[in-house]
Structures are given as C-alpha cells and as structure tokens.
C-alpha cells in the first residue's frame, strides 16, 4: 500500500454507503440502482465507449448516489432544473461523501460526474447476472446461511468494480483495470447457479474447467476488442502481486464482508435507532405535534 493515500479504514464508511445502492430502487426502472448501473456499464463497453470514461463516470455517479439515491440528472431535468442547477445538486451529493478519497482521484471523479449517461442496449449477460442470486456465506459440510433478500451478481460485480476504482490509490494502481475485472469476474455465473464455496468444493477437479468454459462462452459473444481486453485484465485475478490485482482483490473481499455486515446491521435495527439516531420525526413546523401524537399512542 502506498504512502500518502487514504487508509482503507478511512474509506470504509464511504464504501458502505456506495454498497447500499444494491438495496435502493426507483419506480421507473426495474432492479436496484447497482443493477441498473451494472447493465448500463456493460452496454457502454459493448457499444465501444472508452473503458476509462466508463469507469470514472460510473464510479462518480456511484459516489453521488450514496446520498442522492435515485435522484440523477435525468430526474432533476424532468423536475425543471437547468443543466447547471442539476449539476450543482449532483456535485453537492458527491462532495458530501467524497472527502476520504485520494485527492487526485477525487478531482478526476468530480470532473467525470455525468449529468446524462449514455444507455445503449446491454448484452444479455448483464440481465442474466442481475437475475442470478448470490449464494451468500457457505462452507463445505455445513448448512447454508440463507439471508433475505439475496444480492444479485450484478449488484456484487458493479460494487466491486466501483470499489476497485475507489481503493486504487491505496495500492498505487491504475483504476481502470480493477473496474473491468470487477464487472467481469463472475461471467461464469451467467450459466452457473451460485452454490458458493461449498458448491465449488463439490465440483472438485472439474471446477477450473467448468469456470473457464463458461467464462469463455460469454467472452466469445462480446465484440472482439472488448473480449481481448477483458481476457487480459482477468488474468489479474490469479494472484495479489500487481497493484491492479491488489486493488481488485481488496475490492472483492471488502464487498463480500461489508455485505455480511449489512445483514448483521439489518437484523439488529431497532425503532429507537430510527427515532433517536436518525431523527425519523425530524425538525419542522409540525414536529411538536408529531411527538405529541406518538406520546399519546405510547410510541
């Protein structure tokens, strides 16, 4: 890890908020915000857009929606805001959470924050990975721990891709390669349902062949230049030697563990937390009346 860059512990609160896009939805488009971004990023890459532009703009948008959720440029324009007003809102959302980022990366992402994002047709693999559930925590010889609702592979892959960009300066890595590896590292699950580590162990000596066959099946259906680029960067998964490998593996393990922390937090959530810590009955002209109603109801 390089000196002068933010520590992973400093980035963790931002990563947690970015990851919550797996659980936020809007009325107009199916799927979580993360799944929508996953399909959009694949569509942009297949359409031939520059990978660096896709990585930076999608990551910038992910940081902004940590607080703005589904409020994006399209919504703000529809609501009557001029382009400069809409961009101001997006910048405020970005700035509110981006403080822990490496200064150089923060400036790059802020400049790349999109008011409007191209939405070309995504490849079929994106829709299938958005519908393919993740196994969650499994271990050989032990019953599966089932948590509801399960995240999708699109949720996970988009989040790992974005995390790869955000942690890249920690390892002195170029951010584009970990973004691409994050998007593509579960291509085999387009066909292969996820049985987790326990299932992989049971596949035994056939595991590597199964994964290679199914991954190549999806790569072969992509435009040639993109497929070759992905074949190259996917080799980074083999170890944690190169800075880009480290950024990807860090992003992957952080997302897997933060997902477990999410379920633990959800299970421990209390009404007192909402009322006291989050000020569910927030300040305003009728707050006193609301509090009186709750007291009268014994709440």
Same domain (yes/no): 284, 258: no
Indicate if 252 and 287 belong to the same structural domain.
no
Residue-number span of the structural domain to which 79 is assigned: 8-130+147-268
Indicate whether 184 and 299 sit together in one domain.
no
Going by pLDDT thresholds of 50, 70 and 90, the confidence category of residue 137 is: confident
Q: Do 232 and 254 sit in the same domain of this protein? A: yes
Report whether pLDDT(295) > 90. no
What's the CA angle centered on 124, arms 120 and 129, to 5 degrees?
A: 110
pLDDT over 90 (residue 210):
yes
Residue 133, phi then psi, degrees to nearest 5: -70, 150
13 and 97 in one domain?
A: yes
- Do 91 and 182 lie in one domain? The reply is yes
Domain membership of residue 142 (yes or no) is no
Q: Does residue 96 belong to any structural domain of this protein?
A: yes
Mean pLDDT of 257-271: 80
Pair 42, 91 in one domain: yes
pLDDT reported for residue 262:
85
Residue 136 domain flag: no
* Domain annotation covers residue 91: yes
Question: What does the pLDDT read at residue 4?
Answer: 52
Confidence of residue 1 (pLDDT cuts 50, 70, 90): confident
Q: Would you state the pLDDT for residue 6?
A: 65
Q: Do 257 and 276 have their domain in common?
A: no
Residue 32 lies in a domain: yes
For the segment 265-280, the average pLDDT, to the nearest whole number, is 76
What gap in Å lies between CA 9 and CA 67, rounded to an integer? Answer: 20
Please name the residue ranges forming H helices in the chain. 8-19, 33-46, 51-68, 73-78, 83-97, 103-112, 124-131, 153-167, 176-184, 196-203, 207-219, 224-234, 243-268, 271-272, 287-296
Percent of residues, the chain, with pLDDT higher than 90: 78
Cα angle 82-86-90, degrees, rounded to a multiple of 5: 170
Residues 296 and 245 in one domain: no
pLDDT tens per residue across span 96-122: 999 999 999 999 999 999 999 889 999
Are residue 168 and residue 204 in the same domain, yes or no?
Answer: yes
The CA distance from 109 to 277, in Å, is: 31
Q: Domain for residue 139, yes or no? A: no
Q: How many domains does the chain have?
A: 2
| Better-scored residue on pLDDT, 267 or 133 | 133
Burial 267-279 (b: 16+ CB within 10 A, else e): eeeeeeeeeeeee
Q: How far apart are CA 65 and CA 21, in angstroms?
A: 8
Strand partners, 133: 152
pLDDT bin (cut points 50, 70, 90) of residue 297 is confident
Q: What would the two tokens of residue 138 be? A: 């499994």
- Per-residue tokens: 48: 């031939």
Please give the radius of gyration of the chain, using alpha carbons only, rounded to the nearest integer: 21
Burial class of residue 8 (count of CB atoms within 10 Å of its CB; 0-12, 13-18, 19+): middle
pLDDT level of residue 2 (50, 70, 90 thresholds): low
Q: Count of alpha carbons within 13 Å of 110, Cβ hemisphere only?
A: 18
Give a yes or no: residue 2 inside a domain: no
What residue has token string 């992509």? 222
Q: Please indicate, yes or no, whether residues 288 and 161 belong to a single structural domain of this protein.
A: no
* pLDDT tens for each residue of 39-81: 999 999 999 999 999 999 999 999 999 999 999 999 999 999 9
Give residue 263's pLDDT band: very low, low, confident or very high (50, 70, 90).
Answer: confident
Strand partners, 32: 25
| 229 within domain boundaries | yes
Same structural domain for residues 14 and 66?
A: yes
What's the mean pLDDT when you consider all of the chain?
93
């Amino acid at each position: 890890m390089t000196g002068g860059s933010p520590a992973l512990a400093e980035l963790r609160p931002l990563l947690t908020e970015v990851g919550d896009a797996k659980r936020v939805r809007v009325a107009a488009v199916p799927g979580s915000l993360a799944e929508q971004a996953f399909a959009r990023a694949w569509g942009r890459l297949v359409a031939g857009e520059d990978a660096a532009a896709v990585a930076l703009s999608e990551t910038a948008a992910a940081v902004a929606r940590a607080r703005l959720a589904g409020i994006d440029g399209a919504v703000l324009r529809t609501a009557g805001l001029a382009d400069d007003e809409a961009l101001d809102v997006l910048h405020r959302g970005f700035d509110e959470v981006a403080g822990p980022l490496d200064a150089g990366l923060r400036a790059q992402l802020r400049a790349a924050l999109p008011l409007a994002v191209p939405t070309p047709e995504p490849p079929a693999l994106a829709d299938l990975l958005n519908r393919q559930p993740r196994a969650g925590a499994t271990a050989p010889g032990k019953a599966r721990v089932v948590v509801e609702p399960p995240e999708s592979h699109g949720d996970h892959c988009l989040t790992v891709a974005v995390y790869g960009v955000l942690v890249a300066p920690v390892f002195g890595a170029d951010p584009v390669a970990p973004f691409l590896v994050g998007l593509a590292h579960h291509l085999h699950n387009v066909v292969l349902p996820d049985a987790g580590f326990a299932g992989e162990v049971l596949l035994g000596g056939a595991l590597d062949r199964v994964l290679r066959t199914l991954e190549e099946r999806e790569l072969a259906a992509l435009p040639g230049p993109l497929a070759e680029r992905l074949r190259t960067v996917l080799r980074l998964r083999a170890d944690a030697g190169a800075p880009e490998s480290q950024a990807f593996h860090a992003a992957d393990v952080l997302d897997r563990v933060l997902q477990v922390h999410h379920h633990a937090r959800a299970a421990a959530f209390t009404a007192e937390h909402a009322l006291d810590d989050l000020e569910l009955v927030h300040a305003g002209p009728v707050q006193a009346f609301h509090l009186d109603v709750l007291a009268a109801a014994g709440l």
